Amino acid sequence: HPQLTLDVQCGLMMEGVPLSAIADEVGTPCWVMSAGTLRARAQRLSGAMMQAGLSVSSHFAVKANDHLAILKILAKAGLGADVVSAGELLRARRAGIPASRIVFSGVGKTEAELRLALAEGIAQVNVESAEELEILSALAVECRREMTVLLRVNPDVDAGTHAKITTGVAGNKFGVPWDEALALYRHAAGLPGIRAAGYAMHIGSQILAAAPFRAAYARLAALVRATREAGLAVSAVDCGGGLGICYRDEGEGSPDVWAGVIRAELGDLDVRLAIEPGRWIAAPAGVLLSTVVLRKAVTGEAPFIVLDAAMNDLLRPSLYDAWHGIVPLSPRDAVAAAETATIVGPVCESGDTFAQERVLPRLERGARVAVLDTGAYGAVMSSTYNARPLAAEVLVDGGRWSVIRPRQSVEALWAGETIPDWIKHPA
């Protein structure tokens, strides 16, 4: 974690800012993002594509982190946006990302969402079914617009990641089956209001090996060639996202290897290439700060360390058994020798567990920790379950820092709720 340094006195620092100072002022739980890390990783990724001799347009997967400030930083670093809802589309526009740099993915875009995409004039819609194709074509004709369409194909390649984040095997809901794609593309090419430009693919997330990418892109290339042999034009290929990061000791997915595979499999096709990275850019840029509420001793077993952050803040450990590093914020947060403990949140679910029997420096009541690599699929997946307000968000940028979303108030949780009169004053 090059953005995180350890100072003997101040403890964990992000871009030179002691994280304990942020925790002091803002309180916990609190998300902290490093702008410098976002820029560096965005640059590293485009650098790798360039090095491989590729001209690739990069669309940040907004679902990974949709905060306006984060989107603005990435927009300034030259990224467009991959969105999956009207909300994400409008967020991206609000952050200043031009419509011409926005692509729209997703298996169930509503009519209203497609109308919005047409009205905004976004770059492309990645269509996932025959049904969606018909709906989009009809709407485009009605709106007197033309939309560039890429057909998302399901290559039936196992990305080898967690079942809940694998998207490119037959039988899951994403994309058009590989062997039906050409026929549907031919159909699309004849439909009014849309311009069939090529194919899109996204096989899953947290992919560390080259093999799944290679297998999927090889199938994609074969499809492009077959489509051209059938007399149809193909001018664009969207490679999706999926490059993984190192949460524990698994090693980080390499942008150079990814770029090399794209180059080898798709580089000679003479198409506009695009990628949709999310996690690789944003995850290592963020941490979640939390305070130990109490220690709960269990006779004969590892003690429970109960944090003030919970699964409603960071869902990944509960939902995917994901491993996140947990480190004390400063030397005074970890005074005693290591012990084995189970780190949990206070939410009323057994699944609200951040780390099962983890060896950590002994954490006393009041000690503060950083949960690492939470810049992607962290704050965006939060809920207010157990009436827990959304945590504050902070941005650090080269020694400066600023709250970019204050902690939600408890009152805000019920703002907008009404109690009907007939409940309040029964006749």
Using CB under 6 A, pick the residue from 316, 324, 368, 388 that binds ligand LLP.
Answer: 316
Using CB under 6 A, pick the residue from 64, 133, 239, 392 that binds ligand LLP.
Answer: 64
Site track 79-118 with ligand LLP (rule: CB under 6 A), x = hit: ---x----------------------x-------------
The CB-of-18 to ligand LLP minimum distance in angstroms stands at 28
CB 209 within 8 A of CB 160: yes
Clarify whether 143 is annotated catalytic: no
- Burial (CB count <10 Å: 0-12, 13-18, 19+), residue 366: exposed
104 closest CA partner among 78, 130, 86? 86
Q: Which of 3/105 has CB closer to ligand LLP?
A: 105
Q: Does 41 bind ligand LLP (CB under 6 A)?
A: no
Is 316 marked within a binding site? yes
The CB-of-340 to ligand LLP minimum distance in angstroms stands at 26
Q: Which of 267/277 has CB closer to ligand LLP?
A: 277
Sites for ligand LLP among residues 128-167 (CB under 6 A): 165
Q: Which of 14/62 has CB closer to ligand LLP?
A: 62
Q: Does 371 bind ligand LLP (CB under 6 A)?
A: no
Q: Does 227 bind ligand LLP (CB under 6 A)?
A: no
Q: How far is residue 54 CA from its own chain's centroid?
A: 24
Is 242 marked within a binding site? yes
How far is residue 293's CA from residue 327's CA, in Å, rounded to a whole number? Answer: 16
Tell me the three-class secondary structure of 36-103, residue by residue: HHHHHHHHHHHHHHHHCCCCEEEEEEHHHCCCHHHHHHHHHCCCEEEECCHHHHHHHHHCCCCHHHEE
Which residues partner with 114 through β-bridges?
Answer: none
Site track 178-207 with ligand LLP (rule: CB under 6 A), x = hit: ------------------------x--xx-
Degrees, nearest 5: CA angle 151-157-158: 130
How far is residue 381's CA from residue 255's CA, in Å, rounded to a whole number? Answer: 26
Is 217 marked within a binding site? no
Using CB under 6 A, pick the residue from 155, 212, 260, 278 that binds ligand LLP.
Answer: 278
In b/e form, how buried is each residue of 110-127, taking b as 16+ CB within 10 angstroms? eeebbbbbbebebbbbbb
Tokens representing 215?
A: 């297998």
The CA-atom distances, in angstroms, between 164 and each of 32, 72, 145, 241, 261 are 26, 29, 36, 16, 25
Binding site: residue ranges?
242, 276-279, 316, 320, 349, 377
Show binding-site residues for pyridoxal 5'-phosphate: 242, 276-279, 377
Footprint of ligand LLP (CB under 6 A): 61, 64, 82, 105, 165, 202, 205-206, 240-243, 276-280, 316, 320, 377
So which residues are the catalytic ones?
348
